[in-house]
Amino acid sequence: MSGYEAGFLDVALGLPAAQQPVIQLDYTHFSVLLDPARRLAAATAVNIAGAELVDLARGNTWRLDKRIAEDQQAGPGLYSRNSLDRGHLVRRRDPVWGDDAKQANADSFTYTNAAPQAAEFNQGKELWVGLEDHVLEYANANQLRVSVFTGPVFRADDAVYRGIRIPRLFWKIAAWTVDIGEKPELRSAGFVLDQSPLLADIDLRQLTSGNPPPLGPFRCFQVPVERIAELTGLAIEQLMDADRYQPTPTAQPVGPHADWRELASRDDIVL
């Protein structure tokens, strides 16, 4: 399995560096940095060759990664008989390109690439799963090559369910290059998905592990990449320097931070 390639774009771009111990797991065209303490990925990274994407049937055969112990990954027991979705971190179709498309499709259904998410499909979720398509369309002049990094935000007060702390926030950073002058220039854009319950009086820390925590409708934000670094502790300086989103006082953003901009449609995205 080739895994994520740092030299995939015209500018070398390596994997994020995590503060906590992680296990790097390489799959076809993507890699997972697994946090064995949380039993979920701290970060994922995928190379997308938009011009080579292959349209394959979805399938739905999830499996554990046999290279690591079962107690280091959140498996089928977390998702059975409840309302939780196995949300792809690396979107299923993103690594499905080239001669290895079939293997990439199967690899995306490994539990290390899943995270518990609200099952209900709503506008915010539709925006989230379509972000890569929007960036690919924007990057059309650059051979449709994009690298995308995705993961959950781990918090100490995340509710425990069946031995797993359920993240409420997820982040995504898309990266591409443009030709500026004599050499290509890296560009990036950062996003956060919030599935926190909208009821402010719910104390997640007091919930028992017998029932899944309440999850709210997906809300999607564009945020400075620097904020993602602060939320996750990941070392992503190169992506921070390449950020295309520069919030202004007139943007009237909403969210947990003054510079988070809630997205209602693709037209709100700054690239």
Instruction: Give Cβ neighbours of residue 129 (< 8 Å, ≥ 6 apart).
Output: 91
Residue 107 has what DSSP assignment? H
Place of tokens 């997972």: 32
Residues of the chain with pLDDT > 90, as a percent, come to 60
Rounded Cα distance between 65 and 32, Å, is 11
pLDDT at 198 over 70: no
pLDDT band for 154, please (50, 70, 90 cuts).
very high
pLDDT for the residue 124: 79
pLDDT for the residue 247: 76
SS3 191: strand
Nearest alpha carbon to residue 14 among 251, 245, 237, 255: 237
Q: How far is CA 135 from CA 45, 58, 270, in A?
A: 15, 22, 10
What does the pLDDT average to over 238-264?
77
Q: Which domains does the chain have, with CATH numbers?
A: 23-268 (3.40.570.10)
Amino acid, single-letter form, for residue 46: V
- Give tens-digit pLDDT for 34-89: 999 999 999 999 999 988 999 888 877 999 999 999 999 999 999 998 888 899 99
Nearest alpha carbon to residue 136 among 91, 104, 166: 91
- Give tens-digit pLDDT for 24-41: 999 999 999 999 999 999
